[in-house]
């Protein structure tokens, strides 16, 4: 699963409404959408919710709340990160998971130093580092 599956599902569900966004008229408020348009937007989220475990549902709610409180700039940055993650080859994702898990608990100065060391590593050195420091969090399935 991508890092932000709830948002991705919501964004993908909105794709059929993209034609409306192409027109110069402003998009309607939620209340002005037809029942069919509302259902089109909500169906993927409802299906994902119903198919999720209680733990996953809690994660979806927490994620939605974080998204709601983000500024437009933060949302844009998050969308860019989601796109980068989706386009990343599996080996690079594994490296990113391992590196993130390793540096997350470190103080900021140590995190920056580790990132600089990482950038200076060759692909072979990075592979060896990941083998020595594998991510504990297993890759999520789509």
DSSP string for 8-19? HHHHHHTGGGHH
Which tokens sit at 75?
Answer: 């949302």
Say if residue 77 is in the same domain as residue 95.
no
At residue 70, the 3 state secondary structure works out as coil
Q: Are residues 75 and 16 in the same domain?
A: yes
Q: Does residue 20 register a pLDDT over 80?
A: no
Residues 83 and 94 in one domain: no
Model-wide pTM > 0.75: no
Does 1 lie in the same domain as 71?
Answer: yes
User: Rounded to the nearest 10 degrees, what angle do helices 5-13 and 72-87 cross at?
Assistant: 100
State whether 20 and 41 are in the same domain: yes
Same domain, 53 and 94: no
The three-class DSSP label of residue 90 is: helix
The count of domains in the chain is 2
Q: Average pLDDT of 127-135?
A: 93
The secondary structure of residue 123, as a DSSP letter, is H
**8-state DSSP, 51:** T
In terms of domains, do 30 and 77 share one?
yes
Burial of 24 (0-12, 13-18, 19+ CB in 10 A): exposed
Is residue 54 pLDDT above 50, yes or no?
yes
Instruction: Verify that 119 and 138 share a domain, yes or no.
Output: yes
- Cα 123 to Cα 79: distance, rounded to the nearest angstrom: 27
Same-domain check for residues 65 and 101: no
Residue pair 55/62 in contact by the 8 Å Cβ criterion: no
Which residues span the domain enclosing 71?
1-87
Q: What span, in angstroms and rounded, lies between the C-alpha atoms of 100 and 93?
A: 10
| Residue 27 and residue 7 share a domain | yes
Same domain as 94, residue 46: no
Which of 87, 103, 122 is the last residue before a domain boundary? 87
Residue pLDDT, tens place only, 55-93: 999 999 999 999 999 999 999 999 999 999 999 999 999
Structure tokens given for 33:
């959408």
């Amino acid at each position: 699963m991508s890092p932000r599956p709830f948002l991705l599902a919501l964004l993908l569900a909105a794709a059929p409404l993209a034609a409306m966004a192409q027109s110069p008229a402003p998009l309607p408020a939620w209340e002005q959408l037809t029942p069919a348009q509302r259902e089109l937007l909500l169906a993927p989220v409802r299906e994902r919710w119903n198919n999720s475990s209680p733990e996953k549902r809690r994660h979806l709610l927490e994620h939605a709340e974080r998204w709601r409180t983000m500024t437009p700039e933060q949302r844009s940055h998050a969308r860019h990160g989601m796109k980068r993650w989706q386009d990343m080859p599996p080996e690079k994702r594994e490296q990113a998971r391992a590196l993130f898990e390793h540096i997350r608990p470190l103080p900021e100065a140590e995190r920056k130093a580790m990132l600089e060391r990482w950038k200076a590593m060759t692909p072979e050195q990075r592979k060896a580092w990941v083998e020595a420091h594998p991510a504990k969090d297993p890759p999520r399935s789509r």
